[in-house]
Structures are given as C-alpha cells and as structure tokens.
Amino acid sequence: MSMADLLVIITDVLLRTVFVMYFPRSFLNITPVCPTIFVLAFAATLISVWFTVAFTFDRFLAICYQNVKAKYCTERTATVIMGIVCVFSCLISVPWYFTMDPEYNMHNTLWGCVWNQAFLNLTSWASFELLMLSVIAWFPFFLLLLLNALTARHILMSGRVRRGLRGRKPGDNDPEMENRRKSVVLLFCISGSFVLLWSTRVIYVFTERVFGTPYVKGSEFESVGFMLQVLSTCTNTAIYVLTQNKFREQMKSAVRYPIYLIVKLVKNRNAS
C-alpha cells in the first residue's frame, strides 16, 4: 500500500500537477505524454484504493475466520491478488487516454491536453466516467464499510463472550478488551476518512454529469476535491501501519541508525 500511495504522489501530484504547472515547456506537456501521465495517475490511484480494500479483506478473514487464515492469508495469495489488482487497474485506465485532445500547436508540435468534445457531450463517455467513479470510490467505500462493520461486530461479540467466560463485569479493566475497543475505533476511522476525503470529488463529478452543470476545469470545488482525493491515498496507510508497534520500532531504528553511524565516524576520527 505504501508503494501504491508513493506512485500516486509521483504521478498525480508531481508529474501531473507540479511539473506541468511550474515547467510548462517540459516534455511532460507534449500531447502524447500528457494523457499518458493522466492514465498512470488514475491507475495508481485505483491500485492504492483497491490495495486498501484487499488489505481490509485480509484482516477480515484473519480476525473473523481464523480457520482459513493459514490457507488464504499467505504471502503467495497476497502476491497473486496484488498482481491481479495492478493488471486490472492498468487495463481499465487505458480509455482515459482517448478522452483528451491537444491544447495548442506550436512549431508543428502538439502541446497540452484538454477534454475533447466527445467526452464532454456524449452520454457514453459520461456513463464511463460514472462507472470509473463507482470502481474507484463508491464500490470500495461500500466494501470497506461492510468489512469493517463485520469485523467490529465480531470483535464486540467475542468481547462479550470473553467477559462471560472470565466472569468480568462490563466496567472491569481488561487489557485485551481495551485493545479490541481500540481496533473497533481504528476500523471506523478508516471507513470514515475514506468517505469524507472522497465525498467532495464524488459530489463534483456526480453533479456535473447527472445534473448537467458546466464541466469547467480549475474551479475551486474541483481543486479542493482533488486535494482531498490525493490525501485519501495516504491516510489509510498511516492509520493501518503507523499504529503497529513493529513498524514504529523499525521507524525508530531507521532514524537512530544514521545518528549511530555519524557518532561512530566521529569517534573513529578522534581515535586516529
């Protein structure tokens, strides 16, 4: 998931936005390259979203169906699923290349890319965009909400059984139950952050396509939606990974290691 999120930052933020804005005469603005970057950015976003769904489903199986954990929650299965998600995301993103036309011609070279009239006016292209929005936002959100709700329900029910077996009252202090309550909060934070950060972008595209609002690039509403959408590719990784003790320990080791090398180098120089 971290690599997918990094690809989103590289393609969607750096190549498609920053470099195009601040280096307008670079080769990235040539017409064949410009829509290609858009395709790569959409594919990277799609991969990031569905990696999160796949990871959530993996945790759902591991927590709620521990009898199949050893069979399906394996490195081999994860590799196959990631490969399928990557190939599918790249293939489904290809049609976006044909939604753009050159913006202008300078010295017999086509520069820039703008939405072509067919994409703006034809019902088939509008249906395609809404379908892509469903694949990248609505359907993943439904799955995340469903899987997290089922996982939270399983944790709460197992907690009640645990209290009954241990003879504890609901108000008693139980470290295991405290960890499970934190897991429930974590699961709902994931679903909540996804829908909140994607809602602006979803509303923008939906109102433009369904209610016929003029499709204008560069509006403030679209800019805010784009910013929140890009941010959403980072939040789930942070929520999932940064809360893990092993990851935090490795992060501390990675920070301390360069300091250790510098101190060792200084000591060796002083000794010599």
Span 20-36, pLDDT tens digits: 778 877 888 888 888 89
- Decide if 199 contacts 221 (C-beta within 8 A): no
Q: Phi then psi for 111, rounded to 5 degrees?
A: -125, 150
- Angle, helices 175-210/220-241, rounded to nearest 10 degrees: 160
Q: Where are the alpha helices (DSSP H) in the chain?
A: 2-8, 20-22, 33-64, 69-72, 75-93, 117-121, 123-133, 139-166, 175-210, 220-241, 245-271
- Give the pLDDT of the chain (272 residues) as one tens digit per residue: 777 877 888 888 888 888 877 887 788 888 888 889 989 999 998 998 898 888 888 878 877 887 877 777 788 888 898 899 999 999 999 999 998 888 888 777 788 888 888 887 888 888 888 888 888 888 888 888 888 888 888 877 876 766 666 655 555 566 666 666 666 677 677 777 777 888 887 787 777 766 665 555 556 777 787 788 888 777 766 776 666 666 667 767 877 888 888 888 888 877 76
pLDDT for position 85: 92
| 236 vs 246: CA distance, rounded Å | 17
Q: Cα(228)–Cα(196) distance, rounded to whole angstroms? A: 9
Closest CA to 29 of 109, 120, 94: 109
254 located within any domain: no
pTM: 0.77
Report the pLDDT value the prediction gives residue 241, as an integer from 0 to 100: 63
Q: What is the pLDDT, as a whole number, of residue 83? A: 92
In a domain, 148, yes or no: yes
> 228 is in which domain, residue-wise?
2-245
Radius of gyration, alpha carbons of the chain: 24
pLDDT at residue 95, as a whole number? 92
∠ Cα 30 232 191 (to 5°): 150
- pLDDT on residue 84: 93
Chain centroid to CA 134: 15
pLDDT at site 94: 93
Backbone phi, psi, residue 101, to 5° = -120, 160
pLDDT tens per residue, range 117-160: 888 788 888 888 888 888 888 888 888 888 888 888 887 787 67
* pLDDT in the model for residue 16: 82
How many residues would you count in the chain? 272
Q: What is the CATH number of the domain that holds 174?
A: 1.20.1070.10
The pLDDT value given to residue 87: 93
In contact, 221 and 201? CB cutoff 8 Å:
no
Number of domains in the chain: 1
Domain assignment of residue 155, yes or no: yes
Q: Are 44 and 11 in contact (CB under 8 A)?
A: yes
Say if CB 94 and CB 39 are below 8 A apart: yes
Three-state DSSP class for residue 67: coil
Q: Note whether residue 264 is domain-resident.
A: no
Q: Tokens 């069979």 belong to which residue?
A: 71
**Whole-number pLDDT of residue 104:** 80
* Dist. CA 83–CA 4, nearest whole Å: 12
* Residue 252 domain-assigned (yes or no): no
Residue 262 domain-assigned (yes or no): no
Q: Is residue 23 part of a domain?
A: yes
Alpha-carbon distance of 183 to 160, in angstroms, equals 15
